[in-house]
Amino acid sequence: MSLFVKKSMSSLLSQAADSEKGLKRTLGATNLVALGIGAIIGAGLFVRTAAAAGGHAGPAVTLSFIVAAIGCAFAGLCYAEFASIIPIAGSAYTYAYATMGEIIAWIIGWALILEYALGAATVSIAWSEFLNKLLGNSIPYEWCHSPFESALDANNVLHHGYINAPALIILVLITLLLIKGTQESAVVNAIIVFVKVAIVLVFIAIGWSFINSDNHTPYLIPADAPDALQADGTHYSYKSFFNHGWGGVLKGAAIVFFAFIGFDAVSTAAQEAKNPKKDMPIGILGSLVICTILYILFSWVLTGVAPYTDFVKSGKEASVAYAIETYMKDYLWLSKLITVGILAGFSSVILVMLMGQSRVFYTMSADGLLPKVFSELHPRFRTPYKSNIILFIFVGLFAAFVPGSVAGDLTSIGTLLAFVLVCAGVWILRRKEPNLVRPFKTPLVPLVPILGILVCSAMIFSLWGTTLLSALGWMAAGLGIYFLYSRHHSKLRNPGEILPHASDFEKH
């Protein structure tokens, strides 16, 4: 049987129409927009903005957000079409299985592990940074940083990290919640979204009057910009193509792209939407538009309050709190308030990402592409507890021993690859099934999918180097697993076997 064997559209549509066995449809357009904003606003905004500005884009990180948003908009339009056609759980993995075949579905499912699992690791590392900031940096450097990180203290003594213990602790707590089956209600999620947006708006409103126009000049980092001092005492050079000018803006876009990760998570809730044909496009595109506007304003204020070179050293961690404490000293109370709110918000993002990853694992296991252990349910809580435990070990190793910048870049690559394949899938489905009913149609096909592929591919290329090679190694390992295991255990290739149903645990 071909590597590109596909799930039939008729079976997927019948699954979507089966409201008795499927997930309960309780989410409206407002809930979906709130879900999107809740998943999007997190470590990407509060941490990755400073990383992109300090090392690559400077004040022009606002342009980086626009480039990243354009790539997301093209992909978002394609996601919206798929979500309206196939309103079931599974997101990009399911779309690929229906349009491009099993091998592509496997690749996209494997890439989603980079998005959700490493995304959770990155956010947990950011959670650790903000917790330490809240506690007045009382946690020893060695116990809240990766072994690959080092920094000079006030006495010029060099410290090396051992393990990021706080990141590991928050992952343990959230994994235990997931195993027990605790889930946030729509009301709780809406409260968290309100807190997150309020934090961003308050910082923008108060910080605007502290903007120093000199910090925005020059807007693009010049090629001859002097080296910046890093936390470990070494110098950081801006001479590389991707460290200044428009090259830096593009690299910055790939870095802050992490800030947009989450809007595609709205599509995983398609089977729980009251009217997915109408509400899914509103949820996906609405949350994307709102967050983009907030991101541009936020990054403009942050780089106006503090010079971008600060974010290479002192302001690298907990950048918002640093900017307030250093340049807005009359508002120290705001620093504490924002830090507490960010910690709460990060916790919800980690929960959403780990839940999303367990759902992807469960679906792939149900299709036979992963071992049954990933779809085995707890006898009491009816949750995929073994999958949660395995996922914690994997994510925990990254969170404890890998720097946040590395995990974040790998997360961006996984997501960008998923976006590229979703854009290609819409184009393919338009050609192969032109008469399929499409409640929402991506405009200007094939132009929009092609532009989405090009913009997202350009951001992937800008991460060239160790990060991209690591991602390629990850994909090679995934293909090895597919050919050694998944191909021979695929339920689609062995239709006599009974598939477990996702609602077995999700409806609990």
Tell me the residue length of the chain.
Answer: 508
Q: Is there a domain that residue 253 lies in?
A: yes
Q: Is there a domain that residue 343 lies in?
A: yes
Q: Is there a domain that residue 315 lies in?
A: yes
Please give the radius of gyration of the chain, using alpha carbons only, rounded to the nearest integer: 22
Per-residue confidence (pLDDT) for residue 355, from 0 to 100? 79
Per-residue buried b or exposed e for 328-362, using 16+ beta carbons within 10 Å of the residue's own CB: beebeebbeebbebbbebbbbbbbbbbbbbbbbbb
Q: Is there a domain that residue 66 lies in?
A: yes
For residues 43 and 258, give the distance between their C-alpha atoms in angstroms, rounded to a whole number. 8
Contact 270/88 with Cβ under 8 angstroms? yes
Element (H, E) at 107: helix 102-134
Q: Is there a domain that residue 458 lies in?
A: yes
Which one, of 227, 236, 207, 220, lies nearest residue 306 by Cα? Answer: 207
Q: Give the number of domains in the chain.
A: 1
Element (H, E) at 153: none
Which one, of 227, 264, 216, 221, lies nearest residue 242 by Cα? Answer: 221
Instruction: For residue 499, give its domain range.
Output: 9-506
Contacts 24+ apart (CB under 8 A), 50-53: 50/302, 50/311, 50/315, 50/316, 50/319, 51/255, 51/311, 51/316, 51/405, 51/408, 52/251, 52/252, 52/253, 52/255, 52/256, 53/252, 53/299, 53/302, 53/303, 53/308, 53/311
Cβ neighbors of 472 (< 8 A, separation 6 or more) are none
For residues 273 and 100, give the distance between their C-alpha atoms in angstroms, rounded to a whole number. 25
Per-residue confidence (pLDDT) for residue 219, from 0 to 100? 94
Q: Is there a domain that residue 187 lies in?
A: yes
Q: Is there a domain that residue 2 lies in?
A: no
Q: At what angle do helices 319-327 and 276-305 cross, to 10 degrees?
A: 40
CATH number at residue 230: 1.20.1740.10
Per-residue confidence (pLDDT) for residue 508, from 0 to 100? 42
Q: Where are the alpha helices (DSSP H) in 367-495?
A: 385-401, 404-432, 447-462, 466-481, 487-489
Per-residue confidence (pLDDT) for residue 101, from 0 to 100? 86
pLDDT in tens, 354-366: 877 887 888 888 8
For residues 402 and 498, give the distance between their C-alpha atoms in angstroms, rounded to a whole number. 40
Per-residue confidence (pLDDT) for residue 24, from 0 to 100? 54
Three-state SS at 472: helix
CB atoms within 10 A of CB 208: 13
Which one, of 472, 477, 478, lies nearest residue 460 by Cα? Answer: 472
Cβ neighbors of 134 (< 8 A, separation 6 or more) are 336, 339, 340, 343
Which stretches of the chain drop beneath a pLDDT of 50?
19-23, 182-185, 498-508
Q: Is there a domain that residue 313 lies in?
A: yes
For residues 246 and 250, give the distance between their C-alpha atoms in angstroms, rounded to a whole number. 6
Per-residue confidence (pLDDT) for residue 446, from 0 to 100? 92
Three-state SS at 233: coil
For residues 83 and 415, give the distance between their C-alpha atoms in angstroms, rounded to a whole number. 17
Q: Which two tokens stand for residue 455?
A: 């913009």
